[in-house]
Structure 1
Amino acid sequence: MSATVASRLLRWFDRHGRKDLPWQRAFDDGRRDAYRVWLSEVMLQQTQVATVVGYFERFVAALPTLRDLAAADEDTVLALWSGLGYYRRARFLHRAAQLCVERHGGELPRDFAALSALPGIGRSTAGAILAQAHGLRFPILDGNVKRVLARYHGIHGHPGESSVEKQLWQHAGAHTPTTRVADYTQAIMDLGATVCARSRPRCDACPLAADCIALRDDLTAQLPGRKPAKSIPTRATVMLILRDRHGRVLLERRGPQGVWSGLWSLPEATDPDGAWRLAQQHAQVDDARALAPFTHVFSHYRLAIEPLLFDRATPQRGIADNPQLRWCSAGELGALGLPAPVRSLLLQVSDSASAERQAASITVVPSGFEP
């Protein structure tokens, strides 16, 4: 059965598979660049191909080799990653590149154990790198592959459960062929992304439809099993946009823990009064305007953001002595790692006229404050 599955997928891939993705480009000897394969695999975690392509091309244009990535500073890496989310992936990528320079001669190791020991490289990512860059027979099990195998074999339960994942790995290994491993790896990922989709799968176009248990038993809507639902809490924050007379905005580097760790963001307070007290620590301010609130959704909670714009602020002395604070012009923002919602907010207020259109008509003055 495993040979049958592989041969059908490869025939389908030859006609319908994706063969022109930027990380698939090979050297003159036919080999693919392991660095590009690795970068694409990390970017594709939690992110679709259509979104990744532009980020990938921008990243490799700036950092074309593993050694370039290792030598880059963190701000450069995070700025190139900004907008992709899940920033821990970028920090792991950066640290893994540095370890490759320190321990592996500036190359990704071809040994599975050494490769999977690097930060951010798990079993599936290591297998994908070795299979696609070197043609070595290692299975993969990303989200698309899990969906294909769960439906084809009729495996119930959430793929994140250890017993279910163990079954899926067994099938993944059994189906991986000994030849054309790179093409097979891309084929099964492509099948899950383009045909065996999460909703409304195109079973009539699937090369595995003839003996797919989910199709036979009308279970495509139930398989793979969903992750048990949990209520997502909402947290509230006030973001301070302190802008001086030159149009510069005060940014603060976030700490090493929590979401957006290590990124440059806006100072935050729990409520408007706290925002005013914090603003006065950093600048002389006369008034503030409330901009339209919005909500940013993380995987485990929602963040309700209330922006306060303090315009024409006069910076307090001493900010330059704090490496975690900096006044930045609009032109400098592109070189910094900023969370996507913060970057979007700053773009909206970069023009004074735009800010006036979005600002509330009432000036916000906290209780007990006299300008």
Structure 2
Amino acid sequence: MLAVVVDQVSKAYRRGARALDSVSLEVEEGEVVAVLGPNGAGKTTLARIIATLLAPTGGRVFLMGRDVARSQADVRRILGYVPQGATAPPESTGEEYLAMVATLHGVPASERRARIRELLRWLELAPAGSHLARTYSGGMRRRLDLAAALLHRPPVLIFDEPTTGLDPSSRRHIWNHIKELVRQNGTTLLLTTHYLEEADALADRLVILDRGKVAVSGRPEALKAALGGDRVRLAVPSAQLPAVREALAAGWFDDIPAPTIRGLPDGTTQLEWTLPAGARAAARLTEALHGAAVSVLGIFVYPPSLDDVFQAHTGRTLQEAQEQAIASGMAPEEGRGKAGRPPQRAA
């Protein structure tokens, strides 16, 4: 059964700004799907629409067969939603906050204490349960948010930017809990992220979202394999680039396409190819360039990455897309409410 179906969903704001443009995706039961893209791509808008917190301009969303627009109460009973910002009141203890959320979700009073203790223990927060939320570290706050989303034992979880702002150790901690949740409970998970390694580590399937549209989707390994070979990167002195061009044009490399060429501020130039049997091709290139008296400063061969996939389908790296988002003022995610406040939790 399909747990989540997003069918041609669009979202337009005033003055013609479009956060989403005919986005479609499907998530099977028990599957982990990552929506990857830079800030401003529409990820949080999509998450909030699925979570019933935002109405789309067009299209429909179904959660476990229920129309999200027409069955909001039913959807919220079977959905756990973890928004980006910390949601616990800073002057409440972790236990007090979870008790409040359990009440909002209708968890039976006879089960609340046991469920809270179970989640605090599982998420390694039991010693801090009686402490004020304002004393929690960033990683602890994210785990507390996850506990709140799981109190009513939903079969479907949406996790918006699970580890933004966390240090690498806390990030991996969250990843381990997510993997265990899916393995033990078969939870269906849709997560949004702008971290390549997060998508690679967690996702069964990937949806790349860019400028409000789906650029490509598929299993991470299949998307990488579709690029057609290894990445080969060659560094030479910029002053010797004419000699490199002459050597490449001499007919020795008719089977090798033209490289992408990028000059760097340090006086070096990088040439980059995607080539089958990258190591053998690199050896041929190095030998020929040495024969043409070109000083090869470095040559690197590595398998395709998700950033290569992103670049192949959007025309820019994810880092470049992030920088463009910052320059355009879209770096704060588009899902915030009025006056920059984080969105409220669905209940």
Query: Is TM-score (shorter-chain normalized) higher than 0.5?
Result: no
Between Structure 1 and Structure 2, the one with more strand by share is 2
Higher relative contact order (CA 8 A, sep 6+): 2
Between Structure 1 and Structure 2, the one with more helix by share is 1
After TM superposition, the score normalised by the length of structure 2 is 0.26
After TM superposition, the score normalised by the length of structure 1 is 0.25
